[in-house]
Amino acid sequence: MSSYEFDMIVIGGGSAGLTAAGIAANFGAKTMMVEADRLGGDCTWTGCIPSKTLLKASKVARQIKDAGKYGLVDNEPEINFKKVMKHVDEVKKEVYEDADRPEIFEDMGIDVVHGKAAFLDPHTIEIQTKEGKRRAVSSKKFIIATGAKSFVPEIPGLDSVDYLTNESLFEIENLPEKLLIIGGGPIGTEMSQAFVNLGSEVTVIDMASRILSKDDPELVDILQQKLKEQGVKYALDASVEKVEQDGKNIQVHIKKEGEHFVLEGDALLVATGRKANTAVLNLEAAGVATQNGQVIVNDSCRTNQKHIYAAGDVTGRYQFTHMSEHMAKIAATKAILKFIPMKIEDDMLSWVTYTEPELAHVGKTEQQLKEAGEKFEVYRFPYSKIDRAVTEGETTGLVKIFAKKLSGKILGASVVGAHAGEFISEYAVAIKNGVSMRGIADTIHPYPSWGLGARRAADQWYIKNQSEWSVKLIKTLFGYRGEVPDFSDPDRVV
């Protein structure tokens, strides 16, 4: 019998922790899960769930304003912001009750404990509850899944200003008249659209020359233009010099192209990334190596200690809920079953920014393929040729697939447009299972579905592999009398 109290202790009850604990218990391991706050973590309470709920409300508001394009009457929506935020809160609680509450995991045989965990030695942690009680617990193995929190840069004057992060944004009760957002990443971009559509005047500030720097520049331009049309303002290539309070307003002093400007608003959202939650874990006592506060893991999610694994945002590798769950599956399976050959699938990394239109990607980017010297073709298909997009008035968008010319092997894909995340899901399945462009093109998709757009984009592989000489040869062999298509345009779409 083991001398340890538990076979597995999972530290953290967010997306990664919930997944890891469930898998460990399912394999028969005596499991404890320790959470410092509420199960569900960032995704349920301050991230994915509230942000997408708010975005949906803002989308409905925009549809009311733009009802004329559906043959209805444009109108100005009446926004009851308190009611909107109450709805956001209700959705968070619904998700928690349905998927995250402790009883669900206790029914699996998991010992759920609320408190802060810190290592005493490589096999022992001390748990401190909110009431101040302390308890030492030992385990054969551990998975660290404590997630991350908002990173707030050192900006002069920021400490004296009542600024917001994603952790406090969804608790506000009054709609800002003028919202300033520092950070043009996914959080800043999504919230800029949400609040501008709900009636705020929004300005996004970023030191980079464009928003969403990890995404395809061409597709980002399409999205940014749409956001500008909706009213979002930008101060890019701008450095923030200081922030100060001016009565009820907040002033952000920026420097752009050598000139100084002052932007003023009644609310400030700092959306400048996230940092790992490791400060209170006392990882030194366990001998766990870190870098810049993040737990270092190999591709099997194992730390430098063979019995300790880590998954999710705490590793700093991939700040996405779906990747946290993916890493948790690997960590728990490897920790419990030891020799199962599993590792993080870097080439399968996907992400979506849930604006309208959505912006999504999977696999290698065009830039990464070029830097690697990979030979590939770019297959493009506009949303204006997707019949479902036309019927719903959602023709702003573009599909770009990066694939091998002859085999049609898909290396990556980027999409901007309505339901881009669903397109990316289809391409993700294709990459994972070796389905080529031809395989997608030859698969029957229902008409007029959005998914048919994914197939029609794949059809372009056939078009690009067709040539003038091959058509002439077919005409000669079979005596056909039609005209030869014009192959002079390399970007022609059929």
In terms of domains, do 211 and 227 share one? Answer: yes
Is the residue at 484 inside a domain? no
Whether the per-residue pLDDT at 392 is higher than 90: the answer is: yes
The answer to whether the annotation marks 185 as part of a ligand binding site is: yes
Is the residue at 96 inside a domain? yes
Query: Residues 463, 492: contact at Cβ < 8 Å?
Result: yes
In terms of domains, do 137 and 216 share one? Answer: no
The answer to whether the annotation marks 422 as part of a ligand binding site is: no
Phi, psi of 103 (to 5 degrees): -55, -35
Mean pLDDT, the chain, as a whole number? 96
Q: State the pLDDT at residue 348.
A: 83
Q: State the pLDDT at residue 114.
A: 96
pLDDT in tens, 114-136: 999 999 999 999 999 988 888 99
Please spell the DSSP secondary structure of 53-121, one letter per residue: HHHHHHHHHHHHHTGGGGTS--------HHHHHHHHHHHHHHHIIIIISHHHHHTTT-EEEESEEEEEE
Residue with the two structure tokens 């204006």: 384
In terms of domains, do 398 and 418 share one? Answer: yes
The answer to whether the annotation marks 189 as part of a ligand binding site is: yes
Domains identified in the chain, total number:
3
Domain boundary among the residues 252, 273, 294 is at: 273
Domain boundary among the residues 324, 345, 366 is at: 345
The answer to whether the annotation marks 229 as part of a ligand binding site is: no
CATH number of the domain within which 422 lies: 3.30.390.30
In terms of domains, do 376 and 472 share one? Answer: yes
The answer to whether the annotation marks 52 as part of a ligand binding site is: yes
Question: By three-state DSSP, how is residue 417 classified?
Answer: strand
In terms of domains, do 381 and 456 share one? Answer: yes
In terms of domains, do 268 and 404 share one? Answer: no
Whether the per-residue pLDDT at 1 is higher than 70: the answer is: no
Residue whose C-alpha is closest to residue 285's, from 115, 125, 114, 113: 125
Alpha carbon distances (Å) from 362 to 46, 253, 434: 25, 37, 14
The answer to whether the annotation marks 171 as part of a ligand binding site is: no
In terms of domains, do 27 and 113 share one? Answer: yes
The answer to whether the annotation marks 190 as part of a ligand binding site is: yes
- Note the pTM of the prediction, 2 decimals: 0.94
Least confident of 45-54, 153-162, 274-283, 335-344: 335-344
pLDDT in tens, 168-185: 999 999 999 999 999 999
Please spell the DSSP secondary structure of 206-230, one letter per residue: -SSSSSSTTS-HHHHHHHHHHHHHH
pLDDT in tens, 58-107: 999 999 999 999 999 999 999 999 999 999 999 999 999 999 999 999 99
- Cβ neighbors of 184 (< 8 A, separation 6 or more) are 204, 205, 206, 208, 210, 211, 212, 213, 234, 236
The answer to whether the annotation marks 401 as part of a ligand binding site is: no
In terms of domains, do 259 and 284 share one? Answer: no
- Quote the DSSP letter at residue 42: H
Question: By three-state DSSP, how is residue 361 classified?
Answer: strand
pLDDT in tens, 424-446: 999 999 999 999 999 999 999 99
In terms of domains, do 263 and 283 share one? Answer: no
In terms of domains, do 386 and 446 share one? Answer: yes
Q: State the pLDDT at residue 359.
A: 98
Whether the per-residue pLDDT at 346 is higher than 90: the answer is: no
In terms of domains, do 279 and 268 share one? Answer: no
The answer to whether the annotation marks 187 as part of a ligand binding site is: yes
CATH number of the domain within which 285 lies: 3.50.50.60
Percent of the residues in the chain that have a pLDDT greater than 90, as a whole number: 91
Give just the sign of the alpha carbon dihedral 45, 48, 54, 56. Answer: negative
In terms of domains, do 166 and 244 share one? Answer: yes
Range of the domain at 58: 6-150+275-345
Domain boundary among the residues 273, 296, 325 is at: 273
Phi, psi of 400 (to 5 degrees): -125, 120
Whether the per-residue pLDDT at 341 is higher than 90: the answer is: no
